[in-house]
Each structure stands twice: as C-alpha cells, then as structure tokens.
Amino acid sequence: MVEQTSPRMQMLLRSGVWFAASVLVLMASSIGLSRLLETAAPSVSLALDPLNADALIGEITGQLNQTNDHADLQGLGAKARNALRFDVADARLYSLIGEIKYRQGETDQAFEFFDRARMLSKTEIHALRRSIDRSVEAGDLVRAVVEIDILLRRWPDQFSALAAGWPAILSNSRGYGAVLAAIRAEAPWLGKLFSTLGQNPKGLAAANQLLLDLAGSSAPPTSNELSAVIDGYIKQKQYGSAYRLFLFSLSDEERKLGGYIFNGGFEPVHSGKPFDWVVHDRSGLEITFSGLQDAGESDRGATLRFLNTPVKNAALQQFIELPPGSYRISLNASATNLKLPKDLFWSLRCVDPSREMARFNIPEGTFSRRSLSLDFTIEPAACPMQLLRLETAAIAESWRFRYVGTLVMHKLSIERISS
C-alpha cells in the first residue's frame, strides 16, 4: 500500500524546490555579473564570484602595476599562490608569481615560474617578455628572435614595445640570420619591421640588407616594405641611397619606364614607391593614366578632367634625382575647352634646400599635341634631389576661380643638353 504525502509535506517540498532554484538562479546571476565586471572592476567581480580566475588575475595585475613595496608584493604573492589551489593549470598565475619573485630579487625562482608558465602555454605574454629580455642579456639572440616571433604571432600589438631593440639584434650576425630565417618562414610582422627600421637611422643599413637578401627569395619584399625604407633614407637626407634602392626595386617591366622622369608616358602602373608618380586626391579634378592598350593614340597619357570647381595645390608629383648639368624639360599635351582662372604649371623644386628651380605654364584653350619645353640648370652640389609637381596657383578655394575642361599629357620628359 502506497502512503500518500500529507499536504504539509507537499508544501515543504515545494518550498525546498523553490528555494534551491532561487539559489541556483542567484548563483548564476552572480557568476554572470562577475564575468561582466571582471575587466572593468575586478574587485567587485571577485566579491560576486571569489573563484573568478580572470578577475583575480586582473586585480593582482592592477595592484602589481601600482606598487613595488615589499609588503605589498608579499601579499600579492600569497594571493596568487592561494589561487593556484583552485586552478593549477593557469599559466597566468605562474607568470604573476614569477613577476613578483623577480621584483623581490629572487631571479632564479622567478624564471622557474616563468618556465612553468610557458610549459603550460608557450604564448603566455608576460613570461615570454621576461624570457626575451633574459635571452638578449645573455647574448643568445637566436633564442631571443625565436621567442619574439612566437610573441608577435600571438600578440601583434606588442611590436611597438620591442621596436627599439631591432637595430641591435640585426647588427649581430647571429641575430640577423635568425630574423632572416623568421621572415622566410612567413613572419606576419615583416611589414612592421621595415616600417620601424625605416624610421630609425640606426636601422636603415640592416633594412637595406634585408631587402637585398629577400629580393631573390620566394617571398620578395612588397612595394610598401620597399617604400618604408626608401622614405627612411629620404628623411635622413641620404638621397643617393634612396634612389639606388628605388632603381634596384624595379621589375623588368618597370625598368622599361625608366629615365630622368619615371613613367613619363603615364602608363597605368602605380608602385606607390617614392620616385614614382603620386596622384593627389582633389575634389574638383579627376586624373586617369592610360597606356597603349587602354586608349587610342590621341588619348594616351595622363588625362585631367576639371569639374568646374576650384582646384588648389598639387595634382601630381614625383621625386627625381638629377646630377649637376644643363637640362630641358618637355611636355607634349592636348586640351579641350581648358579654362584656367589661375595658372596650371609644372614646377621643379629642390628638396634640400627647398627652392623652385624651374617652372613652365600650361596654356588655356583647345589644342592638339602641343609641345612645351623649358631649359634649366642644376648647379654643382646645389641640389641632390628634386621634386617635380603639377600644381595650380590658387591659394584659396574661391568659387570665382573654377577650373574647366580636359587636359591630356601624352609625354613628359627631361633630357640632358649641352651647356
């Protein structure tokens, strides 16, 4: 015979179930809120969930960044060691304990914890940073570069923290070889490396050598990587080195476009490197380059369409390097209904010291394949590098000065003449 539960017992059972469910909901809510606050307010997060390892690590890290006091370090170390009882496989806790030991002067013990952290997670960021420092101090640059590669593949935002050390690593033959090996293994930080070296006078020679070594490899340098180093040479006023690197970087097809002006026929080839054309974005002007396969003979070249609006400053420019001597700059151009309220002209300026060396204006109207030219001289030791620009004389974007019509520049060239 089955005994029936009394109404009182049923009520008590329902109350117990409701209470247990409420506790579970409350615990879930606390854990969820703890997760939400673990980054912004780790102390509050820990109060809600004392077992939240991420919040605990955030709290210890935050306090560690604010103190080197011996008593504080002792307390933080005890807190981190206590947390290990609940999570013996968290590499971050071992790394924190290692950092505390390191600051307390217990270096050997510190690196035991760092090494344990890296055994659990080879990309643990703080242990990696300390290991890199140790490898560099010990002169083991091969190991240092291997560790740097691991760090940057996992934590690419750490590159800037290592930027200052690259020239020293690359000046050592073993360090250079290790960097080259990492690059050939498709290191994703290569672009940042060339950008960093290009901005550091001590890094330019190493950057140039890396470019030479990579040129014949299965992963040759990109235009952006080459440009970073060429720009670096220009900023350091090493104009000859900048131009030689540009010439070295040209492909067989690009070499056919060479001359005192690169791509003077305005073929639709844009490398983005200095000493090539730079096309400026102007709201009142459209510029297109057309080669033989893209346009008829009459339209071949650089086409400028003015959109009946003001146009201010440069439209096209290119760095060039002319040795001392006498020259003639020539332009072959056509125009349709070209109206120029202020001058449109080609200007040749010395980069250092900055000054204009030659200028010739482009006429208004409608004409076909008109030839324009101007003779000029580069004095000895007066101007190691020049800047060629197509620009307007407008100094303000006034609607009284609206440029209208179309200009096609078929060929722009510079040739040396007898003085």
Pick the range with the lowest mean pLDDT from 68-77, 165-174, 349-358: 68-77
61, 138, 327, 342 from 95: Cα distances, Å: 11, 21, 67, 67
Whole-angstrom distance, CA of residue 365 vs CA of residue 334: 10
pLDDT score for 16 = 52
Topology at the third CATH level for domain 278-417: Jelly Rolls (2.60.120)
Most confident of the following: 17-21, 39-43, 215-219, 352-356: 352-356
Average pLDDT over every residue of 190-207: 94
Residue 148 has pLDDT above 80, yes or no: yes
Residue 234 has pLDDT above 90, yes or no: yes
pLDDT score for 82 = 80
Residue 251 pLDDT class (50, 70, 90 cuts): confident
pLDDT tens-digit profile of 261-306? 999 999 998 888 889 999 887 778 899 998 654 545 557 899 999 9
What average pLDDT is seen over the chain?
83
75, burial (CB in 10 Å: exposed 0-12, middle 13-18, buried 19+): middle
Residue 53 pLDDT class (50, 70, 90 cuts): low
Whole-angstrom distance, CA of residue 114 vs CA of residue 90: 12
Q: Name the phi and psi angles at 409, rounded to 5.
A: -100, 110
Residue 23 pLDDT class (50, 70, 90 cuts): very low
pLDDT score for 36 = 41
Residue 159 has pLDDT above 60, yes or no: yes
Whole-angstrom distance, CA of residue 286 vs CA of residue 76: 64
pTM given for the model: 0.77
pLDDT tens-digit profile of 108-144? 998 999 999 999 999 999 999 999 999 999 999 999 9
Pick the range with the lowest mean pLDDT from 46-55, 88-97, 323-332: 46-55
Percent of the chain past pLDDT 90, that is, above it, reads: 55
pLDDT tens-digit profile of 54-112? 766 767 777 777 777 777 778 777 787 887 777 777 888 888 888 888 888 899 998 99
